[in-house]
A = this chain, B = another copy of it.
Amino acid sequence: MASNRQKEIALAAVKLFEQKGYHATSVQDIADEVGLQKGSLYHYIHSKEDLLLQIAHEAITEFNDNLQAVLDTDMSAPEKLVKAVENHITVSVSNMETTTVLLREAFSLGDPQHQVIQDLTDKYVDLWTQVLEEGARSGEFHVREPKVVALAILGACNWVYRWYRQSGQLTPSQVARVFSDMFLNGLTSDNHPGVQQ
């Protein structure tokens, strides 16, 4: 039900939060970006912090929904892991600004609001852990610490926003494949897709 102006403001905020950081972005900056007076912004937002909350909320929700969808399929565990990595990185890169705000700026949220994002983030870790537990149960994965492994994989994926830039590099899918290959096959084993052929 967000009006155009609301979307416009959220987009401007995402852009500025990504560029300068939440704290270094003033409400004036956002107003300037959308061509409104500072005061007029408050027809659309509750507070600057609320704007950040909304952005972060939408971002983490998309990650959660995507991963839940993968879990709901009847793929094998390795297939799910590959797909989950692919999804995460693709979304990360195509919504790089939003992802950056989620991962870098959400900590600036005050306490009741920060917890909302924290809870959804915990949920995301749980879903990743489920992927690994499924594989462990089926014998497809050799995992004794599924949660720690999930956090390792998630960490690798969440770091992408810090280094990925479009500049003449691998596509998100290619990055995802490099990641999945290592996660599944390791660096020292022989069964690598590129190598096998």
* Interface residues, chain A, with chain B CB atoms under 8 Å away: 21, 23-24, 78, 81, 104, 107-108, 125, 132, 135, 140-145, 148-149, 151-160, 162-163, 170, 175, 178-179, 182-192, 194-195
- Shortest C-beta distance, A106 to chain B (Å), equals 11
Contacts of A141 in B (CB 8 A): 187-188
Tell me what chain A mostly uses at the interface: helix, strand, loop, or mixed: helix
Partner of A189 from B21, B142, B149 at Cβ < 8 Å: B142
With known contacts A155-B157, A159-B154, A186-B189, A195–B142 Cβ distance under 8 A: yes
Partner of A186 from B125, B163, B184 at Cβ < 8 Å: B184
Q: Which residue of B lies closest to A78 (CB)?
A: B188
Instruction: Quickly give the copy total for this chain.
Output: 4
Contacts of A160 in B (CB 8 A): 151, 155
- Shortest C-beta distance, A41 to chain B (Å), equals 17
Instruction: Please report the C-alpha to C-alpha distance between residue A142 and residue B178 in the assembled complex, in whole angstroms.
Output: 11
With known contacts A185-B188, A187-B184, A178–B145 Cβ distance under 8 A: yes
Instruction: Please report the C-alpha to C-alpha distance between residue A40 and residue B197 in the assembled complex, in whole angstroms.
Output: 68
Query: Are the CB atoms of B163 and A151 closer together than 8 Å?
Result: yes
- Shortest C-beta distance, A18 to chain B (Å), equals 11
